[in-house]
Amino acid sequence: MRVRQGRPRPGRSWQLSHGLVAIPLALIVAVTVLDISTPTSIHLGPFLVAAPAITASFAGARLTGAVGALAVAAQILIGQLHGGLTTANHQAQVAALLVLSVLVTIFRYVRDRHARQLVQVRSVAAAAQQVLLWPLPRRIGRLRIECAYISAEEEAEIGGDLYAAAPVPGGVRLVIGDVRGKGLAAIGEASALVGAFRGAAYRHLPLAGMMAHLGNSVYWNLAHAPEEDPESFVTALMLDVPDSDPFLRMVNCGHPPPLLLRDDRVLPLEVADPAIPLGLNTPSPSEYEVETFPFASDDVLLLYTDGVMETRNRDGVFYPLADRLASWNDRDPASLVRRLHDDLLRYADGNLGDDAAMIAITRFPDAEEPGAGRPAPEQPDAEQPATGTSAGRPSPPPRRPAP
């Protein structure tokens, strides 16, 4: 599920602008009638310049130019009725009004052209990101998954948040990450990582081997980029959730730790030895330590990007994610993601400084599992996704999350 901050519909904006045009038209009529009704020593014609200026605040260049032309025509009419346009005063008023109306119309035209270009760039970037972020299925194996994506939509820049999931023999593998930077360059780097994940999801690589594969893909993609940023990198977190075992295995490369919701507690799953972000070197599987954490059937796990934590309110205070989750009693993934999404937008008054992605996962009970009772496919010896091995080393027993 993708969630974006809405924009006003073009049709509604068109109707609004054509309804407001009555204001400058009424101003032209009022100034003309009052100027004609007053003695010739009183000049109200200069107030006509307000008509095109007001129109430019809500309408396009054509309507602004039309209102400006009407204002100039009204000024000419006033001059004719007050003794003709032969006087220097009336000629100066007409010339000044004409010049100002043209300038206001040109300004509105330039602004409209810039807005059209910005909408086009946003559309291309949004389409690229929509291709990148496929909606996650709500069910994979024994996992129920709910996700949301909130775009900051700051000018044409959108972030490089990413996520993907794939079934593996005996479980489910998920990845979530965040590319440093914004815009199309960040989308390209995120696309390289997601493409590498999808392409290798069925190669039966161990968890550490898969992360090393992604790290090398990101590194070489950045190395061959036309405009390489020496500080570009990707924070990423990957985990395997076995179908039949009450725990999960995780590798963290500088990404915010997931939060485990158990009863009324919120427990961060922090690894003892996090790896460096992807893209900074060409890693080998031995560089990644696979750590194991309990994950029971009634637990809910929340994965998120730093856009959630770095959301600020008007006072500049960061969003208290853990406190918010602890105060909510609902542990249904769909309700949790929806509530978190709405609360983030309220906290930031609808203006997030960065894109934010969030994924809530939980296990289906055996009775609700699609195809329950069927044996899981046999796991090839080369894969070992449910044993948590890394570079031939057995993983430690499940760790207890920090209280």
For 170-190, b/e burial (b = at least 16 CB within 10 A) is: bbbbbbbbbbbbbebbbbbbb
What dihedral angle (degrees, nearest 10) is formed by the CA atoms of 201, 206, 209, 215?
A: 50
The pLDDT tens digits of the residues spanning 345-395 come to 999 988 887 888 999 999 987 645 544 444 444 443 333 333 333 333 344
The pLDDT tens digits of the residues spanning 105-133 come to 999 999 989 888 878 877 776 676 667 67
Report whether 128 contacts 154 (CB < 8 A).
Answer: no
Q: Alpha helix (H) ranges present in 5-87?
A: 10-20, 22-37, 50-56, 61-81
**CATH numbers and ranges of domains, the chain:** 10-124 (no CATH), 134-363 (3.60.40.10)
- The model's confidence at residue 3, banded by pLDDT at 50, 70 and 90, is very low
Most trustworthy range by pLDDT among 78-92, 150-164, 328-342: 328-342
Alpha-carbon distance of 239 to 249, in angstroms, equals 5
Q: Is the dihedral of CA 366, 369, 370, 376 positive or negative?
A: negative
